[in-house]
Structure 1
Amino acid sequence: MRFPRFLVPTGQFQRAWLWQAGVYVSFWAELRLFTDLRMHYGPFVSPVLFYATSVLMCVFAALYWLDRPVATMEPGKTTRRFPLVWIGLLLGAVQVLYVQAPVIASHPVDVKASDIIPILQVYATRFLSGEVIYRYSTTLPYPIFPNYLPMQWLPYVPAQQLGIDYRWWALGMLLLLGFGAYQATLARQPLSWVGFLLKIALPTYVLYRLITRDPELFAHTVEPTIIAFYCVLAASVLSRSAILQAAALVACLLSRYSVVFWVPFYLWLLWREAGKRHALAVAALVGVGVLGIYVIPYLSKDWTIFTHAFAEYKIATMGEWSRTDGPGGNPPQLFAGFGFSAFWYTYGPDELKTRIALAQLGDVLISSAVVALSAWLYYRLRRRYDYRIVALITLKLYLATFYAFIQTPYPYLTSLGLFISVFVVMVTGAGQRDKVVAAAAPDADDIAERPAERSRSISTASLN
């Protein structure tokens, strides 16, 4: 039996379409599992499926860029598209604000529901009054030592001074800073007009779907600010700006430590591909940022701040793992359908502290192993990839792994990965195959025979 030729992905271009479809389907499955099916398959199967869809997306994206249709953006097209992305951003923002407004109105800030915002208010108030920030707080129902990094609370100092609800401030940062970075990057991609117009709405659609399916997700947290920082990071790895890359790294490192194991790989990648000067400039700027924002003004005045913070994290983790108000008398956050902590809790040693320690160690080792594997694969295939695409795909894979194995997989933490997925989807499909390119493009066998002749940066103009 013979199949129609267009159904048989034998050519480089045909395979690229197959991998592109795989990326899109994986993304849709990831989003569906998060918003609609998170507990549909139970607390043990659902996390496996969710993580598998994230990994498959990265695999399909990597395969797509091996067989990518090559083309560059026409110079005038970027100029014509910028007004459209800002219009799309505005319309999406209006829709998101419309659905989030009643959620914020019906959920007043209450330390009994969540202590995140009350704690941030302590930080901001102390900063504005010139008090020592990193000391024990007794204004909450229980004493607590501040354990948040500076970029987790500094962005809310203006909100505190202006009397604006932190949740509105966080949402505004995500829409303007995070989604603004996405739209600015999207406008430069060599997409067809149909693909471009559809992807304008993608980040706001994801946020809209999260809010409408689970209004509690961002009702008591300010996670949109962290998501905004990571959106800027995803946009920065697709750029050539050392300043933007360093600023994004500083914001992410000093808001949440999640990305810390990926950073050395990224700097090594910049060293090899962007040049030693560029890598050293990024590293130096990151060092200056960390010293100026955290070490000199706070940590150098009390070196026990770091150890106190980890002690507070341990207390919070023990509290979550000790709860019995979830399904079957289990901790609710561990059995919410995200992450593999339910496995550690159920099948780990008898002592709770040991189970937690194993979960933490497993997260560190497995996340580090994923980075090492990514570095090895990049080195083997370095002549066939643009390093910026490598950085984006590995960032997505790393974060998916880190949050899958984190000791307490809160849903709002896991949601971060969905917005990195948006960037992966955005660049998948970038490039239109025209007749000239089709005639000139080598096939897979030719590439395998002459790898040194293939540029490391495939159609780099499409990412500038």
Structure 2
Amino acid sequence: MPWLHGLIGMLGLFTAYEELRKIWVKYPDPGKSSDVLPQLETLSHRFFSGEFPYQLVNLPTHAPYPVYMPLHWAPVQIATFFKIDTRWSAIIMLMSAVGIAGFWLAKSHAWASWKRTLPAMLLFALPVWGYVLWGKVDIALSLEGVVAAWYVLLATGLAARNHVLITIGIAGALLSRYTLLFWLPLFAILLWLHAPKKYSYWTWGSVAAAVLALFVVPFWMKDTTIVSRIITHYTGCAEGSWLRPDDYTFYDALSLNIHLRQWLPGTPEQNLPYAQLPQIVVQLLCVGLGVYFYQKKWHRDMDIYTFSLLALSIMPMLFYNFSPMLFKYYMLMPLSVSAVMCWKVIASWSGKD
């Protein structure tokens, strides 16, 4: 019953509708507290009005350079089309991704007991409900559901061994929030070593074509400073968070950098150049040790797709844990990926009734 799995997953998210509506009412103007939504809305409006989107965004208090990728801001058009609150576009995207996930997960695990896999689809609603209960302001000020949607498609592709979904998911992830940057070489190496070469050619060729068609040609070729300006903006924000930590960006137990800035040699001002070093080292260790131990031992216990899914549920969390700048809404994506991982575990341990 693949379609029923997709429907149950979507209905699970729909149960949060009324509480989300109340949150939107409670925070009617998120632009007063954060420039995330104003940037995304401006980028989308400019592009679909025929303007070049990557220009300074004039806000009442400052004029930031927009730092968001096309597949993060393009879905804003969903809300524009239906004339609804912009924040619903992220929920609609996530619901759609969960519906697709339910269909393909059930289809690829047809041998598993539906009595277990069908209720397990409700796991996909838990991350959103977590924000409804404990992170209202975070989900009100962002469109992280869009990012989570692309990563759910990628995770589903890995769980279902569906190369089309994997390719769509990688392209969507790169062009929304590229947190999987260090995960890519891990998957690429394992795919090349353990799968027919045609899958590597098809996957990476298609991803490259998507990046060229959706970012490089329409935007970067018109302004080759886009990437460097985005990096400069993030670097500046990270430096500010490192030197002047606050409760919002340094949640204890989520970000380790409230401790790392004290553990690294020197004062925070002196060890600022090394702020991102722990993050990079940890990610490279994940890649190196992951490939090494998979080749040496773990290949006997799981296939490359399951292992890559496990890595995808861990590496973004570590990426954020060691990031010099962290916002709680970032966690919606890894939590949503973990829902796919948990569903697969439940399916794998259940047999036919």
Fold equivalence (TM over 0.5) = yes
- Report the TM-score when normalising by structure 2: 0.91
Aligned to 1:320: 241
Q: Return the letter of the residue paired with 1:346.
A: Q
Partner of 2:98, secondary structure, is helix
Q: Give yes or no for the alignment of 1:269 onto 2:187.
A: no
The runs of 5 or more residues in structure 2 that have no matched partner are none
The Cα of 1:337 is off from its aligned counterpart by 3.2
- Report the TM-score when normalising by structure 1: 0.70
The Cα of 1:139 is off from its aligned counterpart by 4.0
Listed as ranges, the matches of 1:14-163 within 5 Å are: 81-163=1-83
Aligned to 2:324: 407
Aligned to 1:214: 135
The answer to whether the 8 A contact 2:36-2:142 is kept is yes
Aligned to 2:256: 340
The Cα of 1:284 is off from its aligned counterpart by 0.4
Aligned to 1:303: 224
Q: Distance in 1 between matches of 2:43 and 2:213?
A: 18
Q: Give yes or no for the alignment of 1:374 onto 2:290.
A: yes
The Cα of 1:433 is off from its aligned counterpart by 8.1
The Cα of 1:208 is off from its aligned counterpart by 1.9
The answer to whether the 8 A contact 1:229-1:251 is kept is yes
Partner of 1:374, secondary structure, is helix
The Cα of 1:256 is off from its aligned counterpart by 1.2
Q: Give yes or no for the alignment of 1:386 onto 2:303.
A: yes
The answer to whether the 8 A contact 2:71-2:172 is kept is yes
The Cα of 1:304 is off from its aligned counterpart by 1.2
Q: Return the letter of the residue paired with 2:33.
A: A
Q: Distance in 1 between matches of 2:229 and 2:349?
A: 54
The answer to whether the 8 A contact 2:127-2:332 is kept is no
Aligned to 1:358: 274
Aligned to 1:203: 124
Q: Distance in 2 between matches of 1:433 and 1:90?
A: 23
Q: Return the letter of the residue paired with 2:227.
A: F
Q: Return the letter of the residue paired with 1:387.
A: I
Give percent identity, aligned residues only: 25
For residues 434 and 114 of structure 1, do their structure 2 counterparts lie closer, same or farther at Cα, with a shift above 3 Å needed?
Answer: closer
The runs of 5 or more residues in structure 1 that have no matched partner are 1-80, 327-331, 436-464
Equivalent position to 1:278, from 196, 199, 216: 199
The Cα of 1:293 is off from its aligned counterpart by 0.7
Q: Distance in 2 between matches of 1:271 and 1:422?
A: 27
Q: Give yes or no for the alignment of 1:418 onto 2:309.
A: no
The answer to whether the 8 A contact 2:194-2:304 is kept is yes
The Cα of 1:97 is off from its aligned counterpart by 1.0
Q: Distance in 1 between matches of 2:74 and 2:142?
A: 15
Deviations 1:270-289 (A, max 9, x none): 22222111111101001100
Q: Return the letter of the residue paired with 1:397.
A: I
The answer to whether the 8 A contact 1:109-1:117 is kept is no
Q: Distance in 2 between matches of 1:182 and 1:356?
A: 44
The Cα of 1:201 is off from its aligned counterpart by 1.4
For residues 146 and 377 of structure 1, do their structure 2 counterparts lie closer, same or farther at Cα, with a shift above 3 Å needed?
Answer: same
Q: Distance in 2 between matches of 1:366 and 1:268?
A: 18
Q: Distance in 2 between matches of 1:191 and 1:369?
A: 35
Equivalent position to 1:224, from 140, 145, 159: 145
